Structure 1
Amino acid sequence: MITKTFPFDISEHLETDEDIRGFLKETANTGDNSDFIHALNIAAKARGMTEIAKQAGVTRASLYKSLSENGNPRFETISKIINALGCKLVIA
Structure 2
Amino acid sequence: MAKAKKRAKAKSRSAELAPFDASEFLDNEEVIAEYLAAALEDPDPDVFLRAVANVAKARGVSQVAKASGLGRESLYKALAPGAKVRYETVRKVLDSLGVRLTVTA
Same-fold call, TM > 0.5?
yes
May I ask how many residue pairs the two structures share in their alignment? 92
Task: Please report the TM-score for the alignment, with normalisation by the length of structure 1.
Answer: 0.89
Counterpart amino acid of 1:13? F
In structure 2, the partner of 1:76 is 88
- Out of 51, 57, 63, the residue aligned to residue 69 of structure 2 is 57
Counterpart amino acid of 2:36? L
Between 1:81-90 and 1:30-39, the stretch displaced more is 30-39
Q: What is the aligned-residue identity percentage?
A: 36
CA deviation vs aligned residue, 1:54-74 (integer Å, no higher than 9, x gap)? 111111110011011232210
How large is the Cα RMSD of the aligned pairs?
Answer: 1.4
1 CA distance for matches of 2:33 and 2:59? 12
In structure 1, the partner of 2:26 is 14
Q: 1:51–1:83: structure 2 CA closer, same or farther, 3 Å change rule?
A: same
Task: Please report the TM-score for the alignment, with normalisation by the length of structure 2.
Answer: 0.79
Runs of 4+ aligned structure 1 residues displaced above 3 Å come to none
* Structure with more contact order per residue of length (Cα contacts < 8 Å, sep ≥ 6): 1
Q: How does 1:35-50 map to 2 (within 5 A)?
A: 35-50=47-62
Corresponding position: 1:90 with 2:102: yes
